[in-house]
Amino acid sequence: MSDRGVLVPRRREVRTVVLIPAADLRPARRERPGFLWAAPAAVFFTIFGIVPIAVVLYLSFTTWNGLGTPEWAGLTNWRALPDDADALHSIRVTAQLTLFCWLIQTPLSLLLGVWAAGPQRNRAILSTLFFLPLLLSTAAIALTWLSLLDPNFGLAASLGSYVGVADGNFLGDDSRALYAVAAVISWQFVPFHTLLYQAAARQIPASMYEVAEIDGARTIRQFISITLPQLRNTIIASSVLVVVGSLTYFESILLLTNGGPGTATRVLPLHMYVKGFVGFDMGYASVLAVLLVAVGTTLSVLIVRSTGYHRMNSDREGM
């Protein structure tokens, strides 16, 4: 012992290294339900999904007017596809409509969904009113907007001049018709995608925003650094639905413009309808149907694979 205290010898530290197998470091896989749980859905999908596609694929190799027995025609219908100028034009119009719908629906839905996820009561009331288009049928929405956009008697005749269209002719002008159709379709489906973003935004832990506030991050910075990364998987899922859904728009365009003026809004599903149920060429219409399925499936796979969505590892199923 000394005047400064008691000298205590340091205990020699003994470190033990334990080798842990790499497999044990991986997150434990959760037990998922067996195949029997998915059997009803698989049977349902086979009957109403796989079987119709197989039948349409068979019809694409036949000549059939909708009556009688289809006759085998080999690759005749498929060889006619490159020579169909209307089909190539329809593919281009479909691609443009898909792009317009994604550019309109995704930012609007994302912002509205994040806003609606707030706890304020007024947001809940306004969100309820905003989701009303989800309760209406596509035909009712198309007919309503057809009346509103009428250049003679609709609101377009009165309000068109405020957006640079003095005559209010949105659907009858080939340079505006596709934009008008995209706006109507977006008005119908933005509430659905807003609902997806609202549900996902409410799953983001509030502690992340609290820490950001302590660090001095403002609202826009929090949105960019927290909200957007946390909603990444929802953005991808919503985008897949928008892109694939854009390939199936038919009744809205049929009622609004019937593909016109001219062929300015004739998308591929409408061209398929014209070939099959106006021209009674079911074999060639089946070729267009198979093409739609192939394009939709390819786009879905590309989006999922290119964004890494297929490697998603979440604590919640589907989130």
Element (H, E) at 63: strand 62-63
Separation CA 89–CA 106 (nearest Å): 26
* Contacts of residue 241, Cβ cutoff 8 Å, sequence gap at least 6: 193
Q: Which amino acid is at 138?
A: T
Q: For the domain 53-309, what is the CATH code?
A: 1.10.3720.10
**Alpha-carbon dihedral sign for residues 286, 290, 293, 296:** negative
pLDDT category, 300, cuts 50, 70, 90?
Answer: confident
Separation CA 110–CA 198 (nearest Å): 8
Structure tokens at 219: 């609202």
- HSE-CB at 278 with a 13 A cutoff on CA atoms is 7
Give rounded-to-5 percent helix, strand, coil for the chain.
65, 0, 30
Element (H, E) at 235: helix 232-246
- For residue 30, the model assigns a pLDDT of 59
- Global pTM value: 0.79
Q: Which amino acid is at 238?
A: S
Separation CA 190–CA 301 (nearest Å): 23
Nearest of 131, 277, 255, 117 to residue 198 by alpha carbon: 117
Structure tokens at 89: 């034009």
- What average pLDDT does this structure show over 4-20? 50
Strand partners, 71: 63
- For residue 319, the model assigns a pLDDT of 47
**For tokens 């009303």, what's the residue?**
132
**For tokens 């049977």, what's the residue?**
43
For 142, phi and psi rounded to 5 degrees?
A: -65, -45
pLDDT digit string, tens, across residues 27-84: 555 566 677 888 888 899 899 989 999 999 999 999 998 888 999 988 999 999 998 8
C-alpha distances (whole Å) from 18 to each of 15, 21, 65, 178 are: 10, 10, 75, 66
% of the chain exceeding 70 in pLDDT: 86
Which string of b and e fits 56-78 if b means at least 16 CB within 10 Å? Answer: beebbbbbbeeeeebeebeeebb
C-alpha distances (whole Å) from 222 to each of 119, 144, 194, 203, 207 are: 17, 40, 19, 15, 12
pLDDT digit string, tens, across residues 70-125: 999 889 999 999 988 999 999 999 999 999 999 999 999 999 999 888 877 777 77
Q: Which amino acid is at 214?
A: I
pLDDT digit string, tens, across residues 194-238: 989 989 998 898 888 989 888 888 888 999 999 999 998 899 889
- For residue 78, the model assigns a pLDDT of 93
Q: Using CA atoms in the order 293, 294, 297, 300, what is the torsion angle rounded to 10 degrees?
A: -120
Query: Which DSSP letter does residue 31 get?
Result: P
**Are the C-beta atoms of 307 and 73 separated by less than 8 Å?**
no
* Contacts of residue 171, Cβ cutoff 8 Å, sequence gap at least 6: 146, 149, 177, 180, 181, 256, 257
Which string of b and e fits 102-112 if b means at least 16 CB within 10 Å? Answer: bebbbebbbeb
